[in-house]
Amino acid sequence: MITIALSKGRIFDETLPMLNAVGIVCTENPETSRKLVFSTNNQDVRIIIVRASDVPTYVEWGGADIGIAGKDILDEYAASGLYYPVDLNIAQCKMMVAAKNDFNYAGVMNEKRRLKVATKYPNTARDFFSSKGIHIDLIKLYGSMELAPIVGLADVIVDLVSSGKTLEANNLKAVELISNISSRLIVNKAALKMNISQMKPLLNKFQELVSSVN
């Protein structure tokens, strides 16, 4: 049996067609169901639905053999025992630093002044600013990061940006790119070794599918 961990939301919408393309069809629509475990047309494959940020945890600890997770989550979580064989090129966006329109980010960076940073991604933010020699005060948030600079909670935020419309609607601007983000297939290394006969053909199909569209 192969267990695949997915999250609902953005990644899911783009993942379902890929699963279908590699021959895996859910017997029910997870989007409209409250169930968390789904069987598929393949009796050796089941799908579990977990929170996006929990996908690496499930795969690392063997609750799932394979998962699909954003590079943002993988960079932040830094799991051991995981193998990232395929970049699925889906859910593309950018990890960025953003600030109020009138904030002088270049000035702060040039003078290496201390920055107050609000984010859902503390490790990513700490690593980025420390690589630039900037000391930061880190404020961990779980959502609505855009509010933080508006109410003076932080000077900047570190968050995902795709169209930039949410920033714009809140009088914020992206000021620096941290990294390009997309979703990756992640695999538990031990599970791959133990069940190479079922896992390898499935991973190969994903690899072929991704190379065929690029």
Q: List residues binding ligand ATP (CB under 6 A).
A: 9-11, 51-53, 70, 72-73, 91-93, 160, 162, 181, 183
The least distance separating ligand ATP from the CB of residue 119, rounded to whole angstroms, comes to: 13
Cβ atoms of 85 and 189 within 8 Å: the answer is no
Nearer to ligand ATP, 50 or 191 (CB): 50
Structure tokens that stand for 184 in this block: 């990756």
Nearer to ligand ATP, 165 or 193 (CB): 165
The least distance separating ligand ATP from the CB of residue 70, rounded to whole angstroms, comes to: 2
Distance separating alpha carbons of residues 195 and 212, to the nearest angstrom: 26
The least distance separating ligand ATP from the CB of residue 20, rounded to whole angstroms, comes to: 20
The least distance separating ligand ATP from the CB of residue 84, rounded to whole angstroms, comes to: 13
Q: Terminal CA-to-CA distance of the chain, rounded, Å? A: 30
Distance separating alpha carbons of residues 127 and 83, to the nearest angstrom: 22
Distance separating alpha carbons of residues 85 and 139, to the nearest angstrom: 33
Nearer to ligand ATP, 91 or 191 (CB): 91
Contacts of 109 (CB under 8 A, 6+ apart): 132, 134
Nearer to ligand ATP, 56 or 149 (CB): 56
Nearer to ligand ATP, 57 or 183 (CB): 183
Q: What are phi and psi of 101, to 5 degrees?
A: -50, -35
Nearer to ligand ATP, 86 or 115 (CB): 86
Q: Which residue is nearest to ligand ATP (CB)?
A: 70
The least distance separating ligand ATP from the CB of residue 163, rounded to whole angstroms, comes to: 7
Where is 146: in which H helix or E strand? none
Residues β-bridged to residue 173: 99
The least distance separating ligand ATP from the CB of residue 162, rounded to whole angstroms, comes to: 3
SS3 call for 19: helix
